[in-house]
Chains A and B, each alone.
Chain A
Amino acid sequence: MRTAKVSAWLTCAAMLWAAGVQAQKPKESTSPGILHRTAPEFVRADLAGRSIDLKSYRGKVVLLNFWATWCAPCQIELPKFDAWQKKYSAQGLQVLAVSMDDGDAPVRRTVRRLRLDFPIVMGDAKLGDEYGGVLGLPVTFLIDREGRVVAKLKGETDLAALESQVKQLLAK
Chain B
Amino acid sequence: MRPKNLPKVLIFLFLAGLLMGQVARTQFSNPATSASTVPQAQLMQPTELVRLLKGSGAEQPVVFQVGSFVMFQQAHIPNAGFAGPGSQPNGIILLNKFAAPLKKNQFIVIYCGCCPWNRCPNIGPAYKQLRDLGFTNVKALYLANNFGDDWVAKGYPTARGE
Q: Does A135 contact B (CB under 8 A)?
A: yes
Near B by CB (< 8 A), chain A positions 94-124 give 100-102, 123-124
Q: Which residues of B contact A136 (CB under 8 A)?
A: 113-116, 145-149
Q: Which residues of B contact A125 (CB under 8 A)?
A: 70-71, 73-74
Q: What is the chain A residue whose CB lies nearest that of B85?
A: A70
Near B by CB (< 8 A), chain A positions 112-149 give 123-125, 128-129, 133-137
**In whole angstroms, how far apart are the Cα atoms of A75 and B25 in the complex?**
9
Verify A20–B115 contact, CB threshold 8 A: no
Q: Which of A70, A73, A100 contacts B122 (CB under 8 A)? A: A70
A-facing mask of B13-25, CB < 8 A → 1, else 0? 0110010011011
**In whole angstroms, how far apart are the Cα atoms of A134 and B74 in the complex?**
8
Q: Which residues of B contact A75 (CB under 8 A)?
A: 27-28
Classify chain A's interface size: 20 to 34
Verify B119–A128 contact, CB threshold 8 A: no
Verify A134–B25 contact, CB threshold 8 A: no
Q: How far is the CB of A67 from chain B (nearest CB, A)?
A: 10
Size of the B side of the interface (Cβ < 8 Å), in residues, is 37
Verify A72–B119 contact, CB threshold 8 A: yes
Q: Which of B29, B68, B145 contacts A68 (CB under 8 A)? A: B68
Q: How many A-B residue pairs have CB under 8 A?
A: 108
Q: Does B11 contact A (CB under 8 A)?
A: yes
Q: How far is the CB of A77 from chain B (nearest CB, A)?
A: 11
Near B by CB (< 8 A), chain A positions 33-92 give 68, 70-73, 75-76
Q: Which residues of B contact A137 (CB under 8 A)?
A: 114-115, 146
Which of B14, B88, B147, B148: most chain A CB closer than 10 A? Answer: B148
Q: Which residues of A contact B8 (CB under 8 A)?
A: 6
Known: A20-B21, A68-B68. A133 touches B74 (CB 8 A): yes
Known: A70-B88, A70-B122, A135-B74. A13 touches B14 (CB 8 A): yes
Q: Which residues of A contact B70 (CB under 8 A)?
A: 100-102, 123-125, 128
Q: How far is the CB of A28 from chain B (nearest CB, A)?
A: 13
Verify A9–B11 contact, CB threshold 8 A: yes
Q: Does B121 contact A (CB under 8 A)?
A: yes
**In whole angstroms, how far apart are the Cα atoms of A101 and B71 in the complex?**
9
Verify B74–A128 contact, CB threshold 8 A: yes
Given A68-B68, A125-B73, 4 other A-B residues pairs in contact with their CB atoms under 8 A: A70-B68, A73-B119, A102-B69, A134-B74
Top 4 closest A-B pairs, CB basis? A136-B146, A135-B148, A125-B73, A72-B28
Task: Name 17 A/B residue pairs within 8 A (Cβ), A-sorted.
Answer: A20-B18, A20-B22, A70-B114, A71-B119, A72-B27, A72-B28, A72-B115, A73-B116, A75-B28, A76-B24, A100-B68, A100-B71, A135-B74, A135-B146, A135-B152, A136-B146, A155-B116
